[in-house]
Amino acid sequence: MTAPVIEFREVTRSFGGVGGIGRRTVALDRFSLAIEAGEVVALVGRNGAGKTTALRLANGVLWPDSGTVRVLGLDPAANGLAVRERVALLSEESALYPWMTVGEILRFGAALAPRWDPRRAGEFVERLALDPRAKIRTLSRGTKAKVALALAVGARPEILLLDDPTAGLDPLVRREVLEGILAAIHDEGGAVVYASHLIHDLERVADRVVYLDAGRIRLEGSLDALRRRVRRLAAVFASDPPDLPHFPGLLDQRADGRTLVVTVEEREDGALAELSRRLQGLGATHVTIEELGLEEILVAALRHPAGPEETSHV
Amino acid sequence: MFRALLGKALKQQRALVAAGIGTGALFALGLALTIGGVYGSGPVSAETAIGSALPLILGLGVWPLWALLAFSQAFTADRASGTESFLLDRPVPPRRLFAARCGAALTAWSAVAAATLGLAWFLARAVYGVSTESWPLLVATGGLLSALAACGTLLAAALGAVSLAAALLGLMLGLGALAAAVQLLRSQLVLFEAIGWFSLWPIALGVLSFPLAAWVAFTRGEPGGRGRAQRAALVTGVALLVIAGVLVAVTPSLIRLAMGGAPSTWQVEFAPGGRSAVLNGWRHLWVVDPDSGSARRFIPPWSHFLGWREDGTMFAVATRATRLGGESRRERIAFYDAEGRRAAPDIAFARDEIQLFGIGTGGLWAGDEIFFVTAEDSEQGALWRARPGETRGRVAAAHLPPLTRPLQVTRDGMLYLVSYRRREHRGKATQPALEADAELLRFDPGTGKLARLGTIPRGRVLHSGLAPSGRYWLVDDGGREAARIVVRNLATGDELEHRFEGEAVLEWEWLADDRLAVMVEQRGVARLLLAGPGGGSQEELGSWPARPNWGRLQASGDGSMLLVRDHATRGARVFHLADARWTEIPPPRGLKVEATAERAPVLWSWAGAKTLVVPGAQGPLLIDVDAPERVRTIAF
């Protein structure tokens, strides 16, 4: 087994407050995650869940309060320049100088990237139909995202950190950008960490999903495993359904008339059958088990208040 | 990479440079319009508009403002426009980024300064033909102000707090202006006045700590910015502490240095017995230990030495020093012990007591009290007495005759004063005529009575002297024109003329037993004679070839020895009155010898019961009479 290209180990990072004065907001709380080469990992979660913080910690722009971060075997806090030479971060609102032209910003980006590949950058400019003479300030949001992508892939990163770069873009542009990302990562055999709210996009490209909530991982696993393990049970009762007592892996339960809809993660083989029996024991006359899409799984997880140490690895 | 960063930063400055040059050109145009009277209330001369106003506006206005704008643009524009992460997210070394930003700002400012100065110079020389002689100072001032603006802006960018940076810059500017004003205006502020122009250096270093703070803030730590303001604040705080420490630490050293460099300008006031001494400079007093030669304590400035008490345990100064080292308008008497510590509470005076005239040139201790005269030069002079431990001074004798000064305290505790009487003049003439009389006064501290003892011509005061007992007054020493001395018996008023063989009296000194030591010149030979106050036989103690500017005679404090000094390269000699023997004191190594070495007198004097002091090149030299080869230096 190869060493992970990105590894977070018990990483905590907070913002605000200086020297114990002022309120501190914990963005990541003992966050641990390992990402292998060639993986595309989706980071999902609400706003403020810690996704951007995790990416910036990996890029070395932020430093952890505690815990360790290793990227390509390096500590980004101590070797930030070396890490950023091999890692590209592409963010939602890519900070492009509005007074530059596309050509100028590509040349400027090239001067700042020791591993810059002009041929590759040129290919992307062509593929994304970018006009080198166009001023950045005149470009649409989608075109700016394409420019940022060209800048990112031109630097030939081994790891691509994407902080929702396609948010707000129309489906056509999103598809173009995503295809570009996939092509780039396929070429280099590197890893991609993709933080986004766009679950459908993630479903298309991600190998693994990490669901973050309040700085902690609530749910983690490959897409296949999540889809396989997380199920929805619909139990029909003769009258108003009772509350389901605690059950391991329970993500969500809600009553819909006489039907109790339960979302559960099957942590052990036979757990679904056991839950079905319990529901019948509570008076359910009919129990059905359904497969779920990723979005439904995440929405269920989102509804369920996490316990302090509650993490699911699927 | 640096070129790319610099190029990008320079492009961001382009509009600013154009605006700066345009602003300078607009000012030039506006002022040119005033020359022809097109604008303004009337025609203005080209000398005024272009020769004076334009460089003033550029140097004090446009350039500093553009320095501020250029550095603000370089260090805060990306952050403000949200594009800073473009650089942060890439492998850009923070130090190169900092250097590129500084370089771009400096280049932009230089372009504005050069273009506007060039335009102004062209107008002045080629168009209007006015003088630009005064411009270098303005250009330098403009450069200095621009540098200050740049430093302040850098700190503001690092701290993320403009008001704090402005306050710190203002503090530095205020201190610098204060230090400069103290020197330029000769004002009286203890710290800056004491260390001179050096005081500007720590302040300048303080301003230079601002870019250092910015450098540490921007190039160290997390690129995301956490801790940036704290790092900047830490560097600035440390720098301010270092500056304060340097100012406090170097002040005594510099004062010592100044004293060591010019020791002859300092009067050494040795305590009776020689246990301690006060180095009396213009406005600086140091208490020193004559044995070790080390400085004991610095007496706050705005103090002048009044005198040691007879037992050598205490001395008094008249002072205007405030607790903060400034100068008060009200004078006080302060008492210090031999170590330089406060020995008693200060004695203050009401404003209408002595404020108008001030304490005079010196004080005399009689017993436990010090006496001094206020308003020496006024018609309304008074003799004051102050006793340590009391809080108020008291008038001992009011309405003194004009121009009265303390003279001596005799062995019986009587205080003698001399009044330089003057003839009546109409109008406001107050300077005494040379032919006026000087009157001797005696004050009895016990009874508080003031007695008038007689007069001598004023011109002879410098050639007169009171015997230690107070019984005799030498009223005429011949003025080097005759070998005679006239002594007046103060009890009877009788005068006795002492005649000596020779052409002139060179020197004389009263001895403890009221005998007179007299140096008489006779056919090129200087003879030292002892004579009784009432006449009688004369005893010759020694003779030497007479030389011009022969040194003076001085009896030791206890009256047991007589110092006879010689020329610089010949040393001095001491006569022991008890056993009638001489001790030769060779000139010590390190003696301060002027260019006219052979003819120059050396200021030998007693520094204790058996110790002599003489100016040395590195500071006063102390010599034990019993072991003249042992020479010690008072180190400043």
Q: Which of B25, B23, B6 is closest to B64 using CA atoms?
A: B23
3-state secondary structure B218-273: HHCCCCCCCCHHHHHHHHHHHHHHHHHHHHHHHHHHHHHHHHHHCHHHCEEEECCC
Are residues A169 and A263 located together in one domain of the fold? no
A27: in domain: yes
Contacts 24+ apart (CB under 8 A), B209-212: B209/B235, B209/B236, B209/B239, B209/B240, B210/B151, B210/B152, B210/B154, B210/B155, B210/B165, B210/B168, B210/B169, B210/B236, B211/B102, B211/B150, B211/B151, B211/B154, B211/B155, B212/B239
What span, in angstroms and rounded, lies between the C-alpha atoms of B304 and B359? 9
B90 contacts in chain A (CB < 8 Å):
84, 109, 112-113, 155
Q: Are strands A284-291 and A208-213 parallel, antiparallel or unpaired?
A: unpaired
Is there a contact between B91 and A91 if contact means CB atoms under 8 Å apart? Answer: no
A84 contacts in chain B (CB < 8 Å):
89-91
Residue of chain A whose Cα is closest to the Cα of B80: A95
Q: Are A295 and A303 in contact (CB under 8 A)?
A: no
Task: Give the pLDDT confidence score for residue A106 in this predicted structure.
Answer: 92
In this structure, what CATH number is given to the domain that contains residue A76? 3.40.50.300
Closest partner residue to B83 (CB to CB) among A62, A95, A107 is: A95
Q: What is the DSSP string of B334-389?
A: EEEETTS-EEEEEEE--HHHHTTT-EEEEEEEETTEEEEEE-TTSTT-EEEEE-TT
Determine if residue B508 is left, alpha or beta; phi over 0 gives left, psi from -120 to 50 gives alpha, anything else beta.
beta
Task: Give the pLDDT confidence score for residue A204 in this predicted structure.
Answer: 77
Are residues A167 and A293 located together in one domain of the fold? no
Are residues A75 and A162 located together in one domain of the fold? yes
In this structure, what CATH number is given to the domain that contains residue A291? 3.30.70
Could you give the angle at the alpha carbon of B454 between the alpha carbons of B448 and B458, nearest 5°?
115
Higher-pLDDT residue of B379 and B77 is: B77
Are residues A89 and A164 located together in one domain of the fold? yes
**pLDDT band for position B110 (cuts 50, 70, 90):** very high
pLDDT tens column, B600-625 = 555 778 887 788 888 777 667 888 88
> What tokens does B265 get?
């300008």
For the cut 90, the answer to whether the pLDDT of residue B288 exceeds it is: no
Higher-pLDDT residue of A127 and B7 is: B7
pLDDT tens column, A120-152 = 888 888 888 888 899 988 988 888 888 888 888
Task: Give the pLDDT confidence score for residue A310 in this predicted structure.
Answer: 52
Averaged pLDDT, B491-505 = 87
Task: Give the pLDDT confidence score for residue A69 in this predicted structure.
Answer: 92
Q: Are B396 and B445 in contact (CB under 8 A)?
A: yes
Determine the length of chain A: 314
B219 contacts in chain A (CB < 8 Å):
none
A220: in domain: no
For the cut 80, the answer to whether the pLDDT of residue B261 exceeds it is: no
A62 contacts in chain B (CB < 8 Å):
222, 224, 226
The answer to which of A205-209, B186-190, B214-218 has the lowest mean pLDDT is B186-190
What is the distance in angstroms between the Cα of A207 and the nearest Cα belonging to chain B? Answer: 25
pLDDT tens column, A83-95 = 999 888 887 666 8
Are residues A180 and A259 located together in one domain of the fold? no
Three-state DSSP state, B120: helix
pTM: 0.61
A91 contacts in chain B (CB < 8 Å):
85, 89
What is the distance in angstroms between the Cα of A235 and the nearest Cα belonging to chain B? Answer: 51
Q: Are strands B277-280 and B285-288 parallel, antiparallel or unpaired?
A: antiparallel
* Chain B touched by A97 (CB under 8 Å): yes
A235: in domain: yes
Q: Are B208 and B243 in contact (CB under 8 A)?
A: no
What is the distance in angstroms between the Cα of A88 and the nearest Cα belonging to chain B? Answer: 7
> What tokens does B262 get?
């010019």
What is the distance in angstroms between the Cα of A137 and the nearest Cα belonging to chain B? Answer: 12
What's at B133, amino acid-wise? E
For the cut 50, the answer to whether the pLDDT of residue B277 exceeds it is: yes
On average, the pLDDT of chain A sits at 82
> What tokens does A231 get?
């199920």
Averaged pLDDT, A224-249 = 82
Is there a contact between A63 and B222 if contact means CB atoms under 8 Å apart? Answer: yes
Are residues A158 and A73 located together in one domain of the fold? yes
A121: in domain: yes
Selected for mutation to probe chain B from A108, A135, A156 (highest B CB count within 10 Å) is: A108
Q: Are B330 and B351 in contact (CB under 8 A)?
A: yes
User: Which residues, 6 or more positions from B29, have their beta carbon under 8 angstroms from its beta carbon?
Assistant: none
What is the distance in angstroms between the Cα of A140 and the nearest Cα belonging to chain B? Answer: 17
Helix axes A102-112, A141-154, angle to 10 degrees: 30
pLDDT tens column, B129-157 = 888 888 888 888 889 889 888 988 888 88
B87 contacts in chain A (CB < 8 Å):
112
Handedness of CA B196, B202, B206, B211 (dihedral sign): positive
Annotate B301-340 with b (16+ C-beta within 10 A) or e (fewer).
Answer: bbbbbbbbbbebbbbbbbbbbeeebbbeeebbbbbbbbeb
A239: in domain: yes
- A 137-156 residues inside an 8 A Cβ radius of B: 155
What span, in angstroms and rounded, lies between the C-alpha atoms of B635 and B24? 58
Residue of chain B whose Cα is closest to the Cα of A89: B89
Task: Give the pLDDT confidence score for residue B1 in this predicted structure.
Answer: 83
Q: Are B606 and B557 in contact (CB under 8 A)?
A: yes
For residue B125, give Cα distances in angstroms to B23, B60, B61, B128: 21, 21, 22, 6
Handedness of CA B165, B171, B175, B176 (dihedral sign): positive
**pLDDT band for position B116 (cuts 50, 70, 90):** very high
* Chain A touched by B234 (CB under 8 Å): no
* Chain A touched by B226 (CB under 8 Å): yes
Residue A77, H or E segment: none
Three-state DSSP state, A229: helix
* Chain A touched by B84 (CB under 8 Å): yes
Closest partner residue to A61 (CB to CB) among B12, B89, B93 is: B89
Are residues A166 and A127 located together in one domain of the fold? yes
Q: Count how many Cα atoms sit within 13 Å of the Cα of residue A9 in the half-sphere of its side chain.
A: 8
Closest partner residue to B89 (CB to CB) among A63, A89, A107 is: A89
Task: Give the pLDDT confidence score for residue B550 in this predicted structure.
Answer: 61
Selected for mutation to probe chain A from B73, B81, B86, B218 (highest A CB count within 10 Å) is: B86
A91: in domain: yes
Domain assignment of residue A260, given as a range? 228-308
For residue B101, give Cα distances in angstroms to A131, B107, B271: 29, 10, 65
Is there a contact between A108 and B93 if contact means CB atoms under 8 Å apart? Answer: no
Q: What phi and psi values does residue B532 have, to the nearest 5 degrees?
A: -80, 155
Are residues A190 and A120 located together in one domain of the fold? yes
B4 contacts in chain A (CB < 8 Å):
107-108, 111-112
Size of the A and B interface in Cβ pairs below 8 Å: 67
What span, in angstroms and rounded, lies between the C-alpha atoms of B315 and B299? 12
* Chain A touched by B86 (CB under 8 Å): yes
What is the distance in angstroms between the Cα of A68 and the nearest Cα belonging to chain B? Answer: 15
Q: Which residues pair with B348 in a beta bridge?
A: B332, B392
* Chain B touched by A74 (CB under 8 Å): no
Closest partner residue to A84 (CB to CB) among B12, B83, B90 is: B90
Higher-pLDDT residue of B291 and B76 is: B76
Are residues A257 and A196 located together in one domain of the fold? no
What is the distance in angstroms between the Cα of B84 and the nearest Cα belonging to chain A? Answer: 7
Three-state DSSP state, A221: strand
Determine if residue A62 is left, alpha or beta; phi over 0 gives left, psi from -120 to 50 gives alpha, anything else beta.
beta
What span, in angstroms and rounded, lies between the C-alpha atoms of B440 and B451? 9
Are residues A192 and A122 located together in one domain of the fold? yes
Are residues A161 and A298 located together in one domain of the fold? no
- B 92-121 residues inside an 8 A Cβ radius of A: 92-93
* Chain A touched by B80 (CB under 8 Å): no
* Chain B touched by A84 (CB under 8 Å): yes
* Chain A touched by B87 (CB under 8 Å): yes
What is the distance in angstroms between the Cα of B3 and the nearest Cα belonging to chain A? Answer: 9
pLDDT tens column, B312-362 = 899 998 887 766 556 677 788 899 999 888 899 988 876 556 544 456 667
Q: What phi and psi values does residue B238 have, to the nearest 5 degrees?
A: -60, -40
Handedness of CA A155, A160, A161, A165 (dihedral sign): positive
Task: Give the pLDDT confidence score for residue B54 in this predicted structure.
Answer: 87
**pLDDT band for position B18 (cuts 50, 70, 90):** very high
Closest partner residue to A61 (CB to CB) among B81, B82, B223 is: B223
A219: in domain: no
Averaged pLDDT, A230-234 = 85
- A 9-68 residues inside an 8 A Cβ radius of B: 15, 18, 56, 59-63
Residue B460 DSSP one-character state: G
**pLDDT band for position B263 (cuts 50, 70, 90):** very low
Helix axes B200-219, B94-121, angle to 10 degrees: 130
Are residues A115 and A233 located together in one domain of the fold? no
- Say how many domains are in chain A: 2
Task: Give the pLDDT confidence score for residue B179 in this predicted structure.
Answer: 65
Torsion of CA B533, B536, B540, B546, to 10 degrees: 70
Q: Are A230 and A271 in contact (CB under 8 A)?
A: no
A99 contacts in chain B (CB < 8 Å):
11-12
* Chain B touched by A96 (CB under 8 Å): yes
For the cut 70, the answer to whether the pLDDT of residue A55 exceeds it is: yes
**pLDDT band for position B429 (cuts 50, 70, 90):** very low
Domain ends where: A188, A214, A240?
A214
A286: in domain: yes
On average, the pLDDT of chain B sits at 79
Torsion of CA B422, B427, B429, B433, to 10 degrees: -40
* Chain B touched by A116 (CB under 8 Å): no
